[in-house]
Structure 1
Amino acid sequence: MATIKDIAKKLGISISTVSKGLNGAGDISEEMRQMVLDTAVEMGYASKRIQKLGKRKVCILIENMEYENIDQFGYEIVVGFKLSAVRRHCEVSVIPTNLNMLTQEKYDTFMLKNGFCGAFLLGFALHDDYIRQLDKTNVATVLLDNYNPNRHVGYVGTDGYNGIDMAIKHLYDYGHKKIALLNGSKNSMVTNDRRLAFLQAMDRYSLKVDPNLIANGYYVADCAKDHVGTFLSNGATAIVCASDLIASGVINELKRLGVQVPKDVSVTGFDDLPIARHLSPTLTTIRQDRVALGKSAFIMLEELIGGVSISKLLLKPELIIRDSTGPCPE
């Protein structure tokens, strides 16, 4: 492992200047500090405060995910992570990110500068710059619903294949054959997985897949109005949605079109957000235990920090049957 002396030698500067750069001293230029940090990352340097057990400091970086109140998807995940962290006397910083932050500073440099020994990334898409940088990172990192082959990076999530299979079987048992999928945004691993899970489940129950009954929207309710009409014109009697928010939009759009749920069309969601219990009709959905996801992410992160390379941790989903699904209309 590189030392301060090694960094100083490589840059041709004094050890004290390197120390100032690593510790945020105000009497060196920002340009010099950035050069010291970038070189430290390149050489695999880890400060003593990061190495010291019992003094760990980690962060949750969040992009494109709401998390500030209990009705939002990320809220319970953050709570679960913090619950596990506090038991291990670990300090957690929750940091919303934006494009400027992600482009101004490299991931490893940001982590070193702020004294973080690991991170949990929420809401990042496959094309995000930070996700690409993880190919070479030495920083312990956990992703939600994202995968990277780097041995320092782990993936935590809910088994979407099992979840979608349960939704399709539930609809199949009700006699539905013309089942549609309204998926999330394309630049997402979980979206890709749910599409493949849908195709596999349809095949498992010998149900014909109609390309006109598969569409990508976004993980918001408003996307429903762009696709529900097409599904109906192609004979859909059930719509599987990639999230509860999408499902809420589907139910509202069906009502607007004079279609009754579940008498005419059944609807399922995914997540079991609080909104699922308050929709009319209440929403049949696939439950993700989001508190457990957060706890699992911290457990995985701690193991990665300790040098144990864990690739993937998937939780079992649960089918929650409510009033939005029923027998296929004759």
Structure 2
Amino acid sequence: MVTIKDIANKLGVSISTVSKGLNGADDISEEMRQMVLDTAVEMGYAPKRGKKPGKRRVCILIENLEYENIDQFGYEIVLGFKLSAVRHHCEVSVIPTNLNLLTREKYDCFMLKNGFSGAFLLGFALHDDYIQQLNKTNVATVLLDNYNPNPFVGYVGTDGYHGIDMAIKHLHDYGHKKIALLNGSKNCMVTNDRRLAFLQAMERYSLKADPKLIANGYYVADCAKDYVSTFLNHGATAIMCASDLIASGVLYELKRLGVRVPRDVSVVGFDDLPIARRLSPSLTTIRQDRLSLGKSAFMMLEELINGINISKVLLKPELIVRDSTGPNPKL
């Protein structure tokens, strides 16, 4: 294990200088501090684990995910994480990120410089630079709906395969055969998983998955207008959506086209955001327990910080049946 003394020997400076650089002291130059941090990261230095209660600091890094009010997907996840952190006397910093931040400073260096013992990353895509850097990190890190084989990195999420299976069975029981999938953005692991889950479920219930009825949009309502007409033209009687926001856009577009829900077309969402109950008709959807996701993320992060390598925690989803689904009108 790399020590402060090892870093000092590498740089040819005193142990106290290295200690000051790692702990943010203001009586050394910024240049020296950055040199200490870069060398520590390069050598694989990690602060001692298991700090006393009340002293540990962790962060939530958020990119491309809304979280500031209860109607937004990330709100309850962040809240659940914070609630668990408070019980463990742990300080949490919520840090929105952007491309400038991610490219200006390496992940391990950022964590070490700010004294964070670990991090929960929300909203990052597979191609993001920080996600790539996690292959070699020794910082305890938890990802939402993302996987990395590094033993210092864990994955928390909802079992989308089970969720999609419940939704397709529900539509199958209503007699639907031509089921469309309006998925999310391509560079996202959960999008890839939901597509595979959809294909597996369709096969399980002896339904044919038509490539013309499968499309990738984005996790926003506005993407629906680009695909709904195509689905209808190819005979879809039900549309499975990768999120409630996408489903809200689908409902709006169907209404604009004069298509009745669920009399003509059934619609299913994923997440069970508060908006799902307020839509007209109210949305049948797959519920993710986002508060428990946040709590589970903190529990996993604590274990990773303490040297217990947990790979994955998946919560079970729940099918919430409301007014947007009904029998296949063509039967």
- Same fold? TM cut 0.5: yes
TM-score (norm 1): 0.97
**Counterparts of 2:146 and 2:104 in 1: how far apart (Å)?**
23
Amino acid at match of 2:81: F
Unaligned runs of at least 5 residues, structure 1: none
Aligned counterparts of 1:46 and 1:190: Cα–Cα separation in 2? 31
Q: Does 1:140 align with 2:162?
A: no
Q: What amino acid is the match of 1:64? A: N
**Structure 1 residue identity aligned to 2:51:** K
In structure 2, what is the Cα distance between the partners aligned to 1:218 and 1:31? 42
Give 4+ residue runs of structure 1 displaced > 4 Å after superposition: none
Q: Deviations over 1:45-98 (max 9, x none)?
A: 3346x6523121111110000000000000000111111111111111111111
The AA in structure 2 aligned to 1:179 is: I
**Cα pair 2:23 2:115 within 8 Å, conserved:** no
1:170-196 residue CA offsets vs partner (Å, 9 max, x unmatched): 000000000000000000000000000
Structure 2, unaligned stretches of length 5 or more? none
CA deviation map 1:201-227 (0-9, x unaligned):
000000011100000000000000000
The yes-or-no answer on 1:237 pairing with 2:237 is yes
Opposite residue 14 of structure 1, the aligned amino acid is S
Deviation at 1:24, TM superposition (A): 2.0
* Paired amino acid for 1:298: F
- Find the residue that maps to 1:196 and give its secondary structure: helix
Corresponding residue for 1:302? Answer: 302
Q: Distance in 1 between matches of 2:304 and 2:226?
A: 43
Corresponding residue for 1:325? Answer: 325
In structure 2, C-alpha distance between the alignment counterparts of 1:254 and 1:234, rounded to whole Å: 15
TM-score (norm 2): 0.97
Which residue matches 1:59? 59
- Residues 1-330 of structure 1: pairs in structure 2 closer than 5 A: 1-47=1-47, 51-54=50-53, 55-330=55-330
Which stretch of structure 1 is more off in the superposition, 6-15 or 25-34? 25-34
- In structure 1, what is the Cα distance between the partners aligned to 2:52 and 2:229? 58
Shift in Å at residue 28 of structure 1? Answer: 3.2
Q: Distance in 2 between matches of 1:326 and 1:47?
A: 57
Distance 1:257 1:160 in 2: 30
Q: Deviations over 1:118-168 (max 9, x none)?
A: 111000000000000000111111000000000110000000000000000
Let me know the Cα RMSD of the aligned residues. Answer: 1.1
Partner Cα separation in structure 1 for residue 2 and residue 259 of structure 2: 66
Count of aligned residue pairs for this structure pair: 329
SS at match of 1:299: helix
**Counterpart-to-counterpart distance in 2, 1:74 and 1:99:** 20
> SS at 1:39's partner residue?
helix
